[in-house]
Chain A
Amino acid sequence: MLDVKNLQVRVEDKEILRGINLTVKPGEVHAIMGPNGSGKSTFARALAGHPGYEVTGGSVSYQGRDLLDMDPDERAREGVFMAFQYPVEIPGVNNAYFLKAALNAKRKQQGLDELDAMDFMALVKQKLKVLHVDESMLLRSVNEGFSGGEKKRNEIFHMAVLEPTLAVLDETDSGLDIDALRVVSDGVNAMRSPERSFIVVTHYQRLLEYIVPDYVHVLADGRIVRSGGRELALELEEKGYGEMTGARK
């Protein structure tokens, strides 16, 4: 599914990722943990193709193709989804209208017929129910005036509609209360399947109680310093990042 080799990324002349190696197989859930500034969000954004993140070395192969050679929109249409840490407010763009355009862009790429408004609404209403998302969210401008929790829920709602092959969740748990965290996690868990993989980027172990990962990787100073099973997250919780990563704090 995803094969990251020695990935190096620079942001505004600052080396952030210094050689990431990661292999994700279909159906797996990988958690990327690490202290602030370790490069976890950089990794997520680089996978999504953010133009501000310059890849200076290494390779990323996604389903046998060179991911780094694809524009952000092509990555999305090929099934890569990133749930943003800070979803962007877009005044004047209706949430449902945007999501329909995004879904149809993907369907077109897959050679499927575009959904008309009726079919789209039927699909969307079903997803809303699963995620306990209020229908009024559809009628509002994308993320405009949404609370922190609503924004994150909207991201998961987009993910549920777009049904990605590889979903990258960038600190989706930050700013969520326990109820919202449960709803978001239920949404993710409902989508787990043998064909779909997840990369869950988080600072806290808490999220991993709800979304149970197959593997946990600890990032420090732009490199993966430890990898293991879910027990690694518990160990982190106990010892803190300082001891785990050998960082002087």
Chain B
Amino acid sequence: MKKVSSIVSAIALALGMTVALTPTANAACAGKLKIAYQGPLTGPEAALGLNELRGVQFAVKKSGLDIEVKEIDDQGDPAVAGPIAPSVPQDECVVALVGPAYSGASRVSLPVYLSAGLPIITPSATNPTLFDFGGKIFHRAVLTDDYQGPALARLITSKVKNAKVFLINDASDYSVGLAKLVDFTLGSRIAGKETTPQGTTDFTSTIAKIKKSKANVVAYTGYFSQAAVLVKQLRDSGSKAVFAAGDGVLDAQFVKLARKSAEGALLTAPAVPLDAASPKLAAEFKKTMGVEAGVYTTESYDAANFFIAAIKKGNKDRASILNYIKKNSHKGLSKTLKFDDKGEVAGVDVNGFVIKGGKIVLTGPIK
């Protein structure tokens, strides 16, 4: 019993210290205002984080304001995000945060930002439960996974007659979750299922199963680099089944890696690629940033611009910026950001895309 109480008091002490150490929302910032970006900037998931970071940097550059972008690298890993989150609001000049990119990292970071009153807009964390962790400071610029899975299923059935679907996930949280919703929506149209963990390079056995199942659609819920390897091997084996996938595959890199094999692939995303939203801006992005925009660059750009709009209106601290984004809306490239009382965007659809002539072509919202 004594042990338990000492643990309890240690936790209480730790909590007390966090509260005591975190500055109040109205603490003054002496120098330059900062917008932070949090996501994976090193490690295996870094490609996505860098897409988003560049979206934020691009927005700040274009704004002409003297704002610094503070990079917070959580590697997309809750175990890394936990220890660094408390240091983020300690810098009083950090008045807003775009991110965290991943749901797991968000869960551990959001309570800290809530106690510091730091407003956040995540461009890509799609787990439906995040409001419970972030409360009033939490906002999300995309739809949750609850919408994308059924949308992917509807896209398949609307584009392929008598669809028989072979469903593959890559064993990640995102992929398993999305696959479950696709599975649930398609029901008896599922001809077979398979899990190919991230890092699988040889799909021989999976393709043998696809052929045996006589499926005419292969739905993959993982990420683009592995999708490219899979679709290539699928085509090399002579299969003509339609390839369909979610937002993890929606990346110019997918087309670049899979080339001809990517042709005709159906994709969904609550996100809009920059070159689909505005080819002109995409070209400018490439010129300024030196690389092409990727998936969720547009959403990060929109999120950063919402904060920039708030700052331009003279809001220079966390509380007033939070208040601004709660009360106002922002017409972004991907959608109009207007948050409901749980920080979610309302009235937007999941978009469908098809790969045609080596380009990702937006086919419009999935009904």
A and B from one assembly? no
Interfacial residues, chain A to chain B (CB-CB below 8 A):
none
Which B positions have Cβ atoms within 8 angstroms of A? none
